[in-house]
Amino acid sequence: MTVATAPPTALAALEAELVDLLGARNVTSDLRARERASVDGARMSPIITELLPLGVADLVAWPTTAEDVGRVVAAAVRHGVPVTPRGKGTGNYGQAIPMSGGLVLDLSRARAVVEVGDGFVTAEAGTPMVTLERAAAETGQQLWMYPSTAQSSLGGFLGGGSGGTGTIAHGSNDMGFVLALDVVHATGSPELVHVEGAEAQRFVHNYGTAGIIARATVRLEPLQEWRGLFASFPDFPGALSVLRELGRLEPLPRLVSADTPEITATLPADPAFPAGRASLRMIADERSVPAATAVIEAAGGRVEDVRDGAQVVLTLSMLSYNHPIEWLQKSQPGVWFHVEVSGDALVERIDEVHAVYEGGLLHIEAGHTVPIGMLAGVYRSPEQVRDGIRALNALGVGVHDPHQWNVDFELGRTIETARVTDPRGLLNPGKLNPDYDGPTKGAIR
- Gyration radius (Cα) of the chain, Å: 22
Can you say whether the dihedral through the CA atoms of 143, 147, 151, 157 is positive or negative?
A: negative
Which phi and psi (to 5°) does residue 301 adopt?
-95, 180
**Model confidence pLDDT, tens digit, residues 370-385:** 999 999 999 999 999 9
Instruction: Say how far apart CA 243 and CA 101 lie, in whole Å.
Output: 45
Report pTM: 0.95
User: How many Cβ atoms from other residues are within 10 Å of residue 51's Cβ?
Assistant: 11
Per residue in 15-64, pLDDT (tens digit) is 999 999 999 999 999 999 999 999 999 999 999 999 999 999 999 999 99
Residue type, position 92, single letter:
N
E strands along 234-295, which residues? Answer: 255-259, 278-285
The stretches of 146-235 forming alpha helices (DSSP H) are: 154-160, 167-170, 197-200
Crossing angle, helix 310-317 and helix 129-137, to 10 degrees? 150
Using an 8 Å Cβ cutoff, are 35 and 56 in contact? yes
pLDDT in tens, 414-443: 999 999 999 999 999 999 999 999 888 875
Under the banding of pLDDT at 50, 70 and 90, the label for residue 445 is low
Other beta carbons less than 10 A from residue 270's beta carbon: 15
